Amino acid sequence: MTDKPIQKKAKPKPNIRDWTICDATTLMLEKARRDGVETAFDRASTMKACPIGAESACCKHCAMGPCRLNAKDPYGKVGVCGATIDTIMSRNFARMVAAGCAAHTDHGMGMLDLFREVVNGHITDYQIKDTAKLHSVAQSIGIETEGRSDKDIALDLYDELERTYTQVEGEIPFAKRVPPKTLEMWRKHNIVPRGAMREIMDLMHRSHMGVDQDYENITKQSSRTALADGWGGSMVATEISDILYGTPSPVTVEVNMGVLKEDMVNIIVHGHEPNMFESMVMSVNEPSLVEEAKKAGANGINLAGMCCSGAEMMSRHGVPHAGNFMSTEAVICTGAVDAMCVDVQCIKQGLVEVSNCYGTELITTNPRCRIEGATHIEFSDHTPMECTDEVVIKAISRFKNRNKPIEIPQIRNTGIHGFSHEYINYMLGGSFRGSYTPLNDNIINGRIRGVAGVVGCTNPRVKQDYVHVELVKELIKNDVLVLQTGCSQVALAKYGFYTPEAAHLAGPGLQEVCETVGMPPCLGIGSCVDNSRILIAASEMVRVGGLGESIADLPAAGAAPEWMSEKAISIGQYFVASGVFTVFGVTFPIAKETKFHKLLFEGLEQQGLGKWGFESDPYEMAKLMINHIDKKRKALGIDKSRERVLMTMADRQKLDAA
């Protein structure tokens, strides 16, 4: 026998088409492969998700561990301290809620700090743009507005809203917006948030080693903390941003990588807080900088957003959007991004490597988020343009020195975004009788079967955008009106669902409503903190009447089909605690066949709240949501009207004959 060298068979490369349905992202991932550049898709395909962590069967809350239990035999073992699988899972879950809530509430508190400084006259680069919104928010929490100056109202509003964060006893201000029956339920369970800081502190405390070891009690505090996010930090972020920058109303916008322009200086803002982005809009329009760009040979400066601040600026001002979370590395592979300017949340560290490969300036701006290898130019609300002007200057200089081939996928999708709660009210009822009554009526008469929120991230563990798109298709086909935020909104926008013409994809009832009002079958309302707009819309539906007395009575459901972040878990928990059936895809971070699983998936609903669901297949997910909506319609006694609407032609002929 001769000694032959053992030849290792090269593993075939995964098919990029299995990673994403987005054509632009596919093209850029193919280019990345040619250029030898690695992205999160590559890493996800070579790094198997940790099976123990995936089911939350491990604990590292103290140095007697880390302890690893067996999710296949959940009650076979306990941790060194005796902690059961339910304690361990509920503590891990609680800490995801705490982190997610902290992210949104810190963002909201930043907006409130800015608001205070604007009102006090210490900051003049921003102003109150929407006084009507200032008045309506103040009124909604019982602040007198009649005959008072805007400044006095704003000062009172600041004082009130600060309690959202700092209050140690009592109820957060926006609890006043919660439908009375829902609030009553929260009071009964003692889950009305006091202040976000207190709730997060409490939750971190009780999930420490050797404190709360009753999964039901831990989950109560998870709900309370999550509610401090949805009805607290996130809602403050949305409302204050509207007051400062204007409440969104429908605007036509282009999305996808084709919004980049080869002959212009391209700047992408990616992150979550609108203040830096607002300032960037000013900087890119600054005549001297535009002149500089022209001197460098560019036809001007082109600004686009990505992820959530992108979704917010798209919905509020019509700023073009280049793509969602799983496209942030891919977009840099175009070679056309002269600067990517980031603030906080969902900023992959991998962006540094990709930016280095293409000579893109990756610039961090927030003291909370520095990344090794990125350039840091700190942003301050007091001198906002110092930072954003410098970013523009860096981008111009990179444009001048572009030395790599540019390849921009020429794909742009136009759609209408910016459906705030206020605009939905106006759109349905007209300016003199703005109201949700027509929406409720159309739900009661069955033209609209129910309402679904489809929100959240994209995740390289599933085919990018696919679950979002197929789920929304199924929902609208079944006459479910879809409300969207964040990366999910951007996903659907890329496939043409944000045009009034998309109404033809809807079932006959929803189609009729869309055509009458001239709206698309999905309404895009902004970033992830803008999920609070869905809570406000739900409260308004309850208030208008005919659909039950609490949010839990509404024929509504929620989904985050491709979620990945802790913020998504906090959002899911506040929707559940508010009464909504909320389905997550990809994976669910706890083990099945456990008491904690039963509590989240059944028990909470029995307590009068909502419940969690899990399903990775979009069609099955749609079925779960539609079945829930139908169950609620039945409980409301409006299932009969719906049956009439869904009569087939044959049924109708039979009736006519009779």
Question: Rule CB under 6 A: which residues touch ligand BF8?
Answer: 272, 307-308, 324-325, 345-346, 456-457, 486-487, 528, 565, 567-568
- The nearer residue to ligand BF8, 27 or 457, going by C-beta atoms, is 457
DSSP letter (8 states) at residue 44: H
Inter-residue contact 574 to 230 (CB < 8 Å): yes
As to burial, measured by CB atoms within 10 angstroms (0-12 exposed, 13-18 middle, 19+ buried), residue 603 is middle
Q: Which does 307 bind (CB under 5 to 8 A by kind): ligand BF8, ligand SF4, none?
A: ligand BF8
- The nearer residue to ligand SF4, 59 or 257, going by C-beta atoms, is 59
Inter-residue contact 318 to 27 (CB < 8 Å): no
Q: Which does 308 bind (CB under 5 to 8 A by kind): ligand SF4, ligand BF8, none?
A: ligand BF8
- The nearer residue to ligand BF8, 39 or 84, going by C-beta atoms, is 39
Q: How far is the C-alpha of 241 from the C-alpha of 129, rounded, in Å?
A: 10
457 sits in which H/E element: none
Least distance from C-beta 381 to ligand SF4, angstroms? 41
Least distance from C-beta 487 to ligand BF8, angstroms? 3
Q: How far is the C-alpha of 434 from the C-alpha of 250, rounded, in Å?
A: 16
Q: How far is the C-alpha of 213 from the C-alpha of 348, rounded, in Å?
A: 34
3-class SS string, 117-147:
HHHCCCCCCCCCCCHHHHHHHHHHCCCCCCC
Q: Which does 528 bind (CB under 5 to 8 A by kind): ligand BF8, ligand SF4, none?
A: ligand BF8
Q: Which residues contact 85 (CB under 8 A, 6 or more apart)?
A: 57, 69, 71, 74, 75, 78, 591, 594, 596
Least distance from C-beta 88 to ligand SF4, angstroms? 6
**Region at 608 (left for phi over 0; alpha for psi -120 to 50; beta for the rest):** left
Residue 209 binds to ligand SF4 (criterion: CB under 6 A): yes
Q: Which does 346 bind (CB under 5 to 8 A by kind): ligand SF4, ligand BF8, none?
A: ligand BF8
Least distance from C-beta 325 to ligand BF8, angstroms? 4
Among 21, 28, 83, 537, binds ligand SF4 (CB under 6 A): 83
- The nearer residue to ligand BF8, 533 or 567, going by C-beta atoms, is 567
Going by DSSP bridges, is the β-strand pair 413-417/321-323 parallel, antiparallel, or unpaired?
Answer: unpaired
Q: 282, 348, 347: which is closest to 313 by C-alpha?
A: 282
φ/ψ of residue 567, rounded to 5: -60, -35
Residue 61 binds to ligand SF4 (criterion: CB under 6 A): yes
Residue 77 binds to ligand SF4 (criterion: CB under 6 A): no
DSSP letter (8 states) at residue 601: I
Least distance from C-beta 57 to ligand SF4, angstroms? 11
Residue 67 binds to ligand SF4 (criterion: CB under 6 A): yes
How far apart, in Å, do the first and last CA atoms of the chain sit? 90
Token pair 């809570």: residue: 535
Least distance from C-beta 349 to ligand BF8, angstroms? 14
Residues shown for the chain: 658
Q: How far is the C-alpha of 609 from the C-alpha of 185, rounded, in Å?
A: 8
Residue 49 binds to ligand SF4 (criterion: CB under 6 A): no
Q: Which does 83 bind (CB under 5 to 8 A by kind): ligand SF4, ligand BF8, none?
A: ligand SF4
Q: Residues of 402-412 as b/e, b for ≥16 C-beta within 10 angstroms?
A: beeeeebbebb
Q: Which does 81 bind (CB under 5 to 8 A by kind): ligand SF4, ligand BF8, none?
A: ligand SF4
Least distance from C-beta 78 to ligand SF4, angstroms? 7
- The nearer residue to ligand SF4, 217 or 410, going by C-beta atoms, is 217
Q: Which does 384 bind (CB under 5 to 8 A by kind): ligand SF4, ligand BF8, none?
A: none
- The nearer residue to ligand BF8, 253 or 629, going by C-beta atoms, is 253
Least distance from C-beta 217 to ligand SF4, angstroms? 16
Residue 368 binds to ligand SF4 (criterion: CB under 6 A): no
Residues forming contacts to ligand SF4 in the complex (CB under 6 A) are 59-62, 64-67, 79-81, 83, 88, 209
